[in-house]
Chain A
């Protein structure tokens, strides 16, 4: 694939226009496609889609055991191997699993906490600058930051095995938090013995840290309600102050992905899988290599859930101390926690038959429908909350999953907004300190460590999250419930 593929935009004449906002890459587009590609895009978003991203969707369609379509969510963009914003499901017996379909930051994900506060309620307790400063201090972030928690190797093994449950049982949060995580914040297949020593070395000092780049901790206000009944079921209402945490599995996850890409590159050759792109390295799901990867990936996912849970606990403690009220009085419940880089073994109906498939979501969020057993009982009439973080200084959304998502996208939706400008270009174009000053004028306080990192996260460096969210809403994959605007952000 040439470097130009990263820049040149798609000519829509190669696509079939299947429905409003739904485009198909026919199997004739390139050799060896087993299924068509399906792109969920508005005309505007299609206009900015890179040829390379489309080719990657088509490449994924060549993998053995892929079911129905190789899909791209509205925030799709060029990745490596699989595109970012890609969804692909593989038959458990005939299909493959691929680390490239999950990403390096395994279980990069996001969670939302509600509160009983409004912005007016916050004022008598000092400025939001004080509060974000305390959060910035209490939740370690940025490159080289170390956790406030000293974990031993055997504790880390428990983190890898039990995810959120480990955190709750060790004093970080409450039992109710577990039910409000996707899959109970734990993938049972996790095996800490499949995690390398390197990953342990990287994971130990970082458990309970936010990271850097596009990860953040944000105080928000719900400024629009689209669905009153769903908002009520989720415990949300207009004017409510919320807190969002966006981060992943840190160095441990990156290492686990890297370890396994090397192994699966060799496995693909061993099992005679012809790869159109080496970054699609994969192995048959039932092979040892694939199961070992899935066990290690699950461990990384559990680490990320424990990580976000620890951070939640410190956020609650910070609010308790700042407002001199306990977390119960503050109503700081976990609304929900979703992963957006993960592979899950799920049951789906395909051509009328119930099948177990491994759904790869890289830059995509699970969006399960009303009635599904993994949706918390309080939300089961509405559907699973789908939390979509905006880029720095822009709106975030909560949506809910639908039956249409199960039929169209293996119960998946978008995850945010892709980059429009490279980090390098953004750092060139924007001055971090000026950006902070401008956002402050708009009522958004940014507390970061590094002007370059802030410049790279300029709102203009990203595509519009509202465009992306509107497409999933219009396609019926996930329906808008509320919108939040940021009032203060802590970044590494």
Chain B
């Protein structure tokens, strides 16, 4: 299997690049990488699922909002996630008053279980997803998603 993600050395925070054959793959692996910053995802059983649908301006905005939604659920519902199925990422051509014509919509299912700090080998809390060096790039080889999270 190809590499899903790799971490990049950063003194104050945590930075990673996620890879995928396509954009949905890359978004799944970005979510996995973010949770891997926090805990050992291999120890988390995908027992409970959450359906997530959201829209944002730009693919980088969508990536930010996708990861932020997962962090929000982690904190408020107390769920550690380890399995991500991004079913679709679509460009909506909306013409609203502000002229945003690059609104993207994501539809996904994230699965995990109630956080257990010991069982899940909890390491570092992620405070937020930043826009620093946030990037989504696709070419004929696949897609990469670069993210720096505040820890």
Name A's B-contacting residues (CB within 8 A).
1, 3, 6-7, 50, 77-81, 84, 104-105, 142-144, 198, 201-202, 205, 211-213, 251, 254-255, 257-258, 261-262, 265, 278-279, 281, 418-425, 427, 449-450, 452-453, 456
Task: Give Cα distance in the complex from A418 to B61, angstroms.
Answer: 30
Beyond A202-B76, A422-B12, 4 additional contacts (C-beta under 8 Å) are: A80-B131, A258-B129, A278-B131, A424-B14
What's the least CB distance linking B33 to chain A, in Å?
12
A1 to B75, CA, bound (A): 31
B148 located at the interface, meaning its Cβ lies under 8 Å from any Cβ of chain A in the complex: yes
Contact of B11 (CB < 8 Å), options: A205, A262, A420, A453 = A420
> Which of A6, A202, A418, A419 has the most chain B CB atoms inside 10 A of its CB?
A6
Q: Are A449 and B117 in contact (CB under 8 A)?
A: yes
A-B contact count, CB below 8 Å? Answer: 101
Is the C-beta of B121 less than 8 angstroms from some C-beta in chain A? yes
Inside 8 A of A202's CB, which chain B residues have their CB? 72, 75-76
Q: Are B124 and A213 in contact (CB under 8 A)?
A: yes
CB within 8 Å for A77 and B11 given contacts A104-B150, A144-B115, A278-B131: yes
Given known pairs A81-B132, A261-B131, the reply for A6 and B72 (CB within 8 Å) is no
A-contact 0/1 string along B125-136, CB 8 Å cutoff: 101111111000
Residues of A within 8 A of B11 (CB): 6, 50, 77-78, 418-422
Q: A80-B148, A142-B117 are in contact. Are A198 and B72 (CB under 8 A)?
A: yes
Q: B52 to nearest A CB, angstroms?
A: 14
**With A144-B78, A450-B122, A450-B123 in contact, is A424–B128 under 8 Å at CB?**
no
B130 near A80 with CB under 8 A, answer yes
Q: A7-B9, A144-B117 are in contact. Are A80 and B132 (CB under 8 A)?
A: yes
What CA separation (Å) do A105 and B150 show in the bound complex? 10
Where chain B touches its partner, the secondary structure class is loop
Q: Are B117 and A254 in contact (CB under 8 A)?
A: no
Contact flags B66-86 to A (C-beta < 8 A → 1, else 0)? 001000100110100000000
Chain B residues within 8 Å of A279, by CB = 130-132
| CB contact under 8 A between A418 and B12, given known A80-B148, A202-B72, A423-B151 | yes
Min C-beta distance of B70 to chain A, whole Å: 13
Q: Nearest residue in A to B151 (C-beta to C-beta)?
A: A423
A422: chain B residues at CB < 8 Å are 9-12, 14
Using Cβ atoms and an 8 Å threshold, which residues of chain A touch B117?
142-144, 449-450
Interface string of B1-35 (1 = CB under 8 A from A): 00000011111111100000000000000000000
Hey, which chain A residues are within 8 Å of B10, CB to CB? 3, 6, 422
List the interface of chain B (C-beta within 8 A of A). Answer: 7-15, 38, 61, 64, 68, 72, 75-76, 78, 115, 117, 121-125, 127-133, 148, 150-151
Chain A nearest CB, measured from B97 CB (Å)? 13
5 contacts across the A-B interface (CB closer than 8 A): A144-B115, A198-B72, A255-B72, A262-B61, A453-B124
Contacts of A281 in B (CB 8 A): 131
- With a cutoff of 8 Å between Cβ atoms, the chain A residues found around residue B72 in the complex are 198, 201-202, 255
Contact at A423–B75, with CB atoms within 8 Å?
A: no
Pick from A78, A104, A265, A423: contact of B128, CB below 8 A.
A104
Kindly list chain A residues whose C-beta atoms are within 8 Å of the C-beta of B7.
Answer: 424
Check B125–A452 contact: CB distance below 8 A.
no
Across-interface contacts of B123 in A (CB, < 8 A): 423, 427, 450, 452-453, 456
| Docked CA distance A222–B115 (Å) | 39
Residues of chain B contacted by A144 (CB below 8 angstroms): 78, 115, 117
What chain B residues lie within 8 Å of A211 (beta carbons)? 125
Nearest residue, chain B, Cβ from A7: B9
User: In the complex, which of the residues A213, A261, A262, A421 contacts B151, with contact meaning CB atoms closer than 8 Å?
Assistant: A213
